[in-house]
Amino acid sequence: GAVVSQHPSWVICKSGTSVKIECRSLDFQATTMFWYRQFPKQSLMLMATSNEGSKATYEQGVEKDKFLINHASLTLSTLTVTSAHPEDSSFYICSVPTHGPYEQYFGPGTRLTVT
Protein backbone atom coordinates (compact mmCIF):
# COMPACT_ATOMS: atom_id res chain seq x y z
CA GLY A 1 0.00 0.00 0.00
CA ALA A 2 0.87 3.67 0.16
CA VAL A 3 1.58 5.80 3.19
CA VAL A 4 -0.21 9.14 3.00
CA SER A 5 0.19 12.15 5.25
CA GLN A 6 -1.77 15.37 5.55
CA HIS A 7 -0.87 18.71 7.01
CA PRO A 8 -2.20 20.31 9.07
CA SER A 9 -4.26 17.80 11.03
CA TRP A 10 -6.55 20.57 12.15
CA VAL A 11 -6.91 24.27 11.43
CA ILE A 12 -9.13 27.10 12.59
CA CYS A 13 -9.46 30.15 10.39
CA LYS A 14 -11.57 33.27 10.19
CA SER A 15 -14.32 33.66 7.64
CA GLY A 16 -13.03 35.17 4.40
CA THR A 17 -9.50 33.85 4.69
CA SER A 18 -7.88 31.06 2.68
CA VAL A 19 -6.51 27.80 3.99
CA LYS A 20 -4.09 25.39 2.30
CA ILE A 21 -4.11 21.68 3.07
CA GLU A 22 -1.25 19.44 1.95
CA CYS A 23 -1.46 15.79 1.02
CA ARG A 24 1.77 13.83 0.64
CA SER A 25 2.32 10.34 -0.69
CA LEU A 26 5.38 9.25 1.28
CA ASP A 27 6.33 6.02 -0.48
CA PHE A 28 4.38 5.91 -3.73
CA GLN A 29 4.55 8.08 -6.79
CA ALA A 30 1.00 9.27 -7.28
CA THR A 31 -0.03 10.63 -10.64
CA THR A 32 -3.56 10.82 -9.25
CA MET A 33 -4.84 11.78 -5.83
CA PHE A 34 -8.39 12.27 -4.64
CA TRP A 35 -9.87 14.86 -2.31
CA TYR A 36 -12.92 14.07 -0.20
CA ARG A 37 -15.01 16.04 2.26
CA GLN A 38 -16.92 14.51 5.14
CA PHE A 39 -19.51 16.24 7.29
CA PRO A 40 -20.37 14.87 10.74
CA LYS A 41 -22.12 11.51 10.65
CA GLN A 42 -22.07 11.48 6.83
CA SER A 43 -20.07 9.51 4.34
CA LEU A 44 -17.16 10.70 2.28
CA MET A 45 -18.08 12.85 -0.67
CA LEU A 46 -15.61 12.97 -3.52
CA MET A 47 -14.74 16.57 -4.35
CA ALA A 48 -12.13 16.30 -7.05
CA THR A 49 -9.47 14.24 -8.75
CA SER A 50 -6.02 15.77 -8.59
CA ASN A 51 -3.84 15.03 -11.63
CA GLU A 52 -0.09 15.52 -11.56
CA GLY A 53 0.96 18.16 -14.05
CA SER A 54 -2.54 18.98 -15.26
CA LYS A 55 -5.80 20.49 -14.11
CA ALA A 56 -7.90 18.83 -11.47
CA THR A 57 -11.26 17.30 -12.33
CA TYR A 58 -14.07 18.45 -10.07
CA GLU A 59 -17.25 16.60 -9.18
CA GLN A 60 -20.58 18.12 -10.01
CA GLY A 61 -21.53 20.85 -7.58
CA VAL A 62 -17.99 21.53 -6.35
CA GLU A 63 -16.79 25.05 -7.10
CA LYS A 64 -13.41 24.85 -8.74
CA ASP A 65 -12.64 28.51 -8.02
CA LYS A 66 -13.31 28.01 -4.35
CA PHE A 67 -11.41 24.75 -3.91
CA LEU A 68 -8.12 25.19 -5.71
CA ILE A 69 -6.11 22.05 -6.28
CA ASN A 70 -2.47 21.91 -7.29
CA HIS A 71 -0.61 18.66 -7.96
CA ALA A 72 2.85 19.86 -8.77
CA SER A 73 4.77 16.68 -8.07
CA LEU A 74 4.24 12.94 -7.81
CA THR A 75 4.23 13.17 -4.04
CA LEU A 76 2.32 16.33 -3.22
CA SER A 77 -1.17 17.65 -3.86
CA THR A 78 -2.57 20.74 -2.18
CA LEU A 79 -6.15 21.86 -1.64
CA THR A 80 -6.73 25.54 -0.96
CA VAL A 81 -10.08 26.59 0.39
CA THR A 82 -10.43 30.20 -0.71
CA SER A 83 -12.58 32.79 1.04
CA ALA A 84 -13.64 30.20 3.57
CA HIS A 85 -17.04 30.39 5.21
CA PRO A 86 -18.47 28.54 8.21
CA GLU A 87 -20.30 26.14 5.89
CA ASP A 88 -16.89 25.01 4.60
CA SER A 89 -16.11 23.63 8.04
CA SER A 90 -15.62 19.93 7.50
CA PHE A 91 -13.19 17.03 7.57
CA TYR A 92 -11.06 16.98 4.41
CA ILE A 93 -9.35 13.75 3.45
CA CYS A 94 -7.08 12.89 0.56
CA SER A 95 -6.33 9.48 -0.90
CA VAL A 96 -3.87 7.82 -3.22
CA PRO A 97 -5.01 5.00 -5.52
CA THR A 98 -2.49 2.27 -6.19
CA HIS A 99 -2.09 0.31 -9.39
CA GLY A 100 -4.38 -2.45 -10.56
CA PRO A 101 -7.81 -2.61 -8.96
CA TYR A 102 -7.13 0.75 -7.40
CA GLU A 103 -7.66 0.27 -3.73
CA GLN A 104 -7.09 3.64 -2.10
CA TYR A 105 -4.89 4.68 0.77
CA PHE A 106 -6.14 7.60 2.76
CA GLY A 107 -4.47 10.35 4.69
CA PRO A 108 -5.42 10.96 8.32
CA GLY A 109 -7.61 13.91 7.39
CA THR A 110 -7.66 17.63 8.17
CA ARG A 111 -10.33 19.13 10.38
CA LEU A 112 -11.18 22.65 9.17
CA THR A 113 -13.19 24.99 11.34
CA VAL A 114 -14.15 28.39 9.96
CA THR A 115 -15.27 30.94 12.55
Partner 1 sequence: SQKIEQNSEALNIQEGKTATLTCNYTNYSPAYLQWYRQDPGRGPVFLLLIRENEKEKRKERLKVTFDTTLKQSLFHITASQPADSATYLCAPSAAGYNKLIFGAGTRLAVHP
Site residues for partner 1, 45-104, by CB under 8 A, read: 46, 49, 91, 93, 95, 97, 101-104
By CB under 8 A, tell whether 108 contacts partner 1: yes
**Dihedral, CA of residue 36, residue 58, residue 27 and residue 78, to nearest 10:** -80
| Min CB(67)–partner 1 separation in Å | 17
Q: Are the C-beta atoms of residues 94 and 36 closer than 8 Å to each other?
A: yes
| Min CB(18)–partner 1 separation in Å | 23
Q: CB under 8 A: which stretch of 11-19, 63-71, 76-84, 106-114 binds partner 1? A: 106-114
DSSP 29-53: --SEEEEEEE-TTS--EEEEEEETT
Binding mask 8-47 for partner 1 (x = CB under 8 A): ------------------------x-x-------xxx-x-
